[in-house]
Amino acid sequence: MVAQLSVTLSLKNIRPIINHYMQSAPGTNNHRIASLDLLKGIVMVVMALDHVRDYFHAPAFLYDPNDPTLTSLPIFFTRWITNFCAPVFCFLAGTSAFLVGIRKSKKDLSAFLLKRGLWLVFIELTIVNFGWYFDSCFHSPGLLVIWSLGISMIVLAAVIHLPLNTIVVISILLISGHNLLDNIHFPGNYAWALLHEESMFKYSETFRLYVAYPIVPWIAVMSLGYCFGSLYNRSFDAAKRKKILLISGSFAIVLFFVLRGINGYGNPSKWMAYDTFSKTVISFLAPAKYPPSLLYLLMTLGPAFIFLALAEKCKGWLVNFFSTFGRVPFFYYILHLYLIHILAMGAAQLTGYGWQIMILPDWIGYIPALKGYGFPLWIVYTVWVAVILLLYPLCKKFDRYKSNHKEKWWLSYL
C-alpha cells in the first residue's frame, strides 16, 4: 500500500513536467509547438512597431518610408523589419491548421477552417476596421490582413482534401507564378481587385472601399504553411526537419538575391542604382507587398524557415515572453490596435491637434490635416515598447485562461 501510494504521488509530481514537455517539444501531436509560438510572437510584437509608426511618426504623414529619395535608413529599416509579419503569420496559420487537423477528421477541420475564416472576415469589416478609424459611420472600410487570413482559411478548408504533394505544387506555382499577372489590369473591376490588384473604389465623396490585400498569393502562402505542418508530426525526424528548413530558407534567400540582382522576374518594379549606397540599398530591399511579389515572399519567408530550424531548442524568459503573444495572437491583435489608436488620440490632444482629429474618415496617412503632427523616431520606439509592456500581462492572463479552459469551444476563435 505504501509503495503504491509512493508511485501514485510520484506520477502526480512528474505529470505536469511531462505535460509541459509534450506542449513545447517539436514533433509532438499537440498543436502547440514552442518554436512556432516563438516566431509567431516575435512577428506579432514587431507588427506593433509598424502600427505605432503609422499613428505617431511625423514623416509617416509626409512620404512613403520606402521612397529612396525621401526616407533614411533608420526609417526604412523600421518599416522593412515589419515586412516579415504578414507573410510569416499567414504561413504559420497554415502550419497551425495542419497541427490542429492531427486531432480532427478532414471534415471537421474543413468545418473549423470555414467557420473561422468567415468569422475573421466579419471581424475585419467590423471590430478591426473600427479600431483603425474609430469612425462609427465606416466611411473607408478596408480589406486588410485579417480579411486575407479569413479568405485564405476558407480556401484552405477545401484545399486540405487534396493530396499533400498536390497542395505543395499548387502553392509553389501560385507563389512563383502570380507575377505573370502584374501587367494585366481591369480598372474598376471589383473581382480582379479582390484577386490580384490593390485598388481603391470610391462610391461617393464620403464612402470608399480599400482592397489592400488581394487574396493571391496569400491563399498559397497559407496552404504552403499547411504542408510544412507535416514536418512537425510526431513521427517526423527532428534532424530531417531542421535540414529541410535550412535548405528551404537558404534557397529562398539566394533566389531572392539572384532574381533581384539581375532585375529579372518576380516583382512588378525594378530596383535602381542611386547616387548613394543607402538609397540603392533601400531600392533593392523594397519589393512589392500589395500583393506580395515572389521576391517579397522569398525575402521574408526564407529567413523565417532558417529561424524555425535554429529555434527549436531556444529557452529562457525572453522566449517565454515572446511566445506568450504567439499563443494568443488574435486577442493581442485586437487589443494592440485599440490601445495604439487611443494613445494617438491622447498625443493629438496634448500637441494641440485635438483628439477628434483621430476619428478618421480615411486611412490615417491620407489625412491632410495631420501633416505636421507626429514625433521623431525615438518616440515611436518608446511608445512601441510601452504598448508591448502594457499588453503583456493581459495576454499572459488570457493565455493562462485558454490553457485552463480547453473545454470552451469559443476560445479557439479568439
Q: Which grid coordinates belong to 395?
A: 495576454
| Residues contacting 342, CB < 8 A, separation 6+ | none
Domain ranges of the chain: 40-413
Q: Residue 7's pLDDT band (boundaries 50, 70, 90)?
A: very low
Arithmetic mean of pLDDT, 53-67: 97
What is the sign of the dihedral through the CA atoms of 356, 362, 365 and 369?
negative
**CB count in 10 Å sphere of residue 1:** 5
β-bridge pairing 142-143 and 208-211: parallel
Sheet holding 142-143, edge to edge: 142-143, 208-211, 199-202
Pick the residue with more confidence: 21 or 188?
A: 188
Q: What is the pLDDT of residues 39-48, one digit of tens each?
A: 999 999 999 9
In this structure, the dihedral spanned by the alpha carbons of residues 64, 68, 70 and 73, taken in order and rounded to 10 degrees, is 90
> What per-residue confidence (pLDDT) applies to 174?
98
User: What DSSP string runs through 354-395?
Assistant: -GGGGS-SS-GGG-GGGBTB-B-HHHHHHHHHHHHHHHHHHH
Q: What was the pLDDT predicted at 206?
A: 87
Per the CB < 8 A criterion, the answer to whether 291 and 213 are in contact is: yes
Sign of CA dihedral 67, 128, 225, 182: negative
Q: In which band, very low, low, confident or very high, does the pLDDT at 378 lie, cut at 50, 70 and 90?
A: very high
Answer for the pair 129, 209: CB distance below 8 angstroms, yes or no. Answer: no
Cα–Cα distance for residue pair 201/212, rounded to 1 Å: 11
All three cell numbers of 218: 496569400
Condensed to tens digits (0 to 9), the pLDDT of residues 227-237 reads 999 999 988 99
List of residues 6+ apart from 217 with CB closer than 8 A? 174, 175, 178, 291, 292, 297
Q: Give buried/exposed letters for 105-132 (b at 16+ CB in 10 A, else e).
A: eeeebbebbbebbebbbebbbeebbbbb
Residue 4 banded pLDDT, cuts 50, 70, 90:
very low
Let me know: does 70 contact 64? Beta carbons within 8 Å: yes
Whether pLDDT at 3 is above 60: no
* Res 413: pLDDT: 80
pLDDT of residue 145: 97
pLDDT at position 5: 31
Nearest one of 185, 230, 87, 105 to 145, comparing CA atoms: 87
- pLDDT at residue 407, as a whole number: 83
Looking at residue 404, its amino acid is N
Backbone φ, ψ for residue 82 (5° rounding): -80, -10
Contact 140, 362 (CB under 8 A): yes
Average pLDDT, the chain: 91
Q: Are 208 and 202 in contact (CB under 8 A)?
A: yes
Residues 138-157 have a mean pLDDT of 97
Average pLDDT over every residue of 91-118 = 95
Please confirm whether the linkage preceding 217 is cis (ω < 30° from 0): yes
